[in-house]
Structure 1
Amino acid sequence: MPSNVPPPAFTDLLAGATRSAVHLEMRDTYAVDYESGPFAAWRDGHRLDPADRASWWRPWLDLVEETVARGVIIRRARIVSEPVSEYTRFLHSFTFTNVAAGEQVRWLPRRRASDIALPGNDFWLFDDHTVLWNHFTGDGASAGGEVAVDPAAAKLCAEAFETVWARGIPHDRYAIH
């Protein structure tokens, strides 16, 4: 149910989480700047140095570390087509930073998700009751977010996420195809 009230800032939603924050990503590509930025640098051969934590994606990883330190479990699951898109290869190449910051990450090949009832949009679910829907345009650009505190939506998201999680492959064991 869209409203004219802008959703709370993501950082506020995460700061309010007391037990869990789960994120389900279902797109094979998101907005990509092919000419400049991290994706372009990756295409040109740049890779993050595991020993140079200061060069990693900040402030996101700092926020993850702070959140996990207060006892919140953060899990991310990605449903991906295989063979994977170039963008998914890019994501996979630096996901070790998310894991190092305290996120748990799993990958699920799309062919293994066919019988899962999935929401129509990517989402974050905080403490099993607050959903942040992530809306995207056809070319992967963000079209904003929408918060739902709806028990039915939260239940759908929780069940979908847990099923994807149970079938997913931990990041350190997922081989790109």
Structure 2
Amino acid sequence: MELISGTKRNQLIEACGHASFHLELRDDYSVPDENGPFESWLRDEPVSYSFMESWARMVKRLTGEGKAVRRVRIVTEPHTPYIEWEHATTVLNVEAGEEIRWLPRHLVPKDLVCPFDGKDWWLIDDRLLAVGYLDATGRVLGHEVIKDLQAVAAAAALRDLLWSVAAPHHEYQP
């Protein structure tokens, strides 16, 4: 299996024709760019969110062209400190034009099966997937690109189901 980098994954998102969707399933992420800001937030110190600037620019450009950038976060309640921080910083994503919804894990339909062994994934234009792979510590190793029509259709159906039951960011209170 060949994995692409986060940069290559972002290039796939940037090249979307109409929509990109991200499903997040973890309650904690070890993203090196976020370590300092997250630690500052935990200490109730001022936080620099400069690490989000390139993402926000890309989302603004895409949504300005009429393309959708959406994500559903399935989270455990009570939240981990990371999810509390992520919720607090989501306003930056929303201001850039990204639509984000939250779904408490205990409200996920019991018969729902997440494909790809419960890994996070991006669905781009209902034509390809970028499935994330992490090491044992949660560090991102890369993304597998999947173009299999059945896998893409299953992901699109799951996206539609989760989007319909998840709460928009402005309505979800931790």
Q: TM-score w.r.t. structure 1 length?
A: 0.87
The count of aligned residue pairs is 169
* Residue 172 of structure 1: how far off its partner (Å): 0.7
Give, in whole Å, the separation in 2 of the partners of 1:32 and 1:124. Answer: 17
| Residues 32 and 55 of structure 1, relative CA distance in 2, 3 Å threshold | closer
One-letter code aligned to 1:46: E
Aligned to 2:121: 123
- Cα-to-partner distance string for 1:37-77 (whole Å, 9 max, x where unaligned): 1110110113669xxxx857211100100111112111110
Among 71, 74, 77, the alignment partner of 2:69 is: 74
Aligned to 2:52: 57
| Residues 112 and 45 of structure 1, relative CA distance in 2, 3 Å threshold | same
Aligned to 2:23: 24
Aligned to 2:151: 153
Q: TM-score w.r.t. structure 2 length?
A: 0.88
| Residues 146 and 55 of structure 1, relative CA distance in 2, 3 Å threshold | closer
The answer (yes or no) to whether the contact 2:31–2:140 under 8 Å persists in 1 is: no
Which structure has the highest helix share of the two?
Answer: 2
Q: Which consecutive unaligned segments of at least 5 residues does structure 1 have?
A: none
CA RMSD of aligned residues (A): 2.3
Q: Give percent identity, aligned residues only.
A: 32
Aligned to 1:42: 41
Give, in whole Å, the separation in 2 of the partners of 1:32 and 1:43. Answer: 16
Among 130, 133, 138, the alignment partner of 2:131 is: 133
One-letter code aligned to 1:115: D
* Residue 14 of structure 1: how far off its partner (Å): 1.5
Moved over 6 A (4+): none
Give, in whole Å, the separation in 2 of the partners of 1:135 and 1:32. Answer: 13
* Residue 82 of structure 1: how far off its partner (Å): 0.6
| Residues 47 and 151 of structure 1, relative CA distance in 2, 3 Å threshold | farther
| Residues 40 and 105 of structure 1, relative CA distance in 2, 3 Å threshold | same
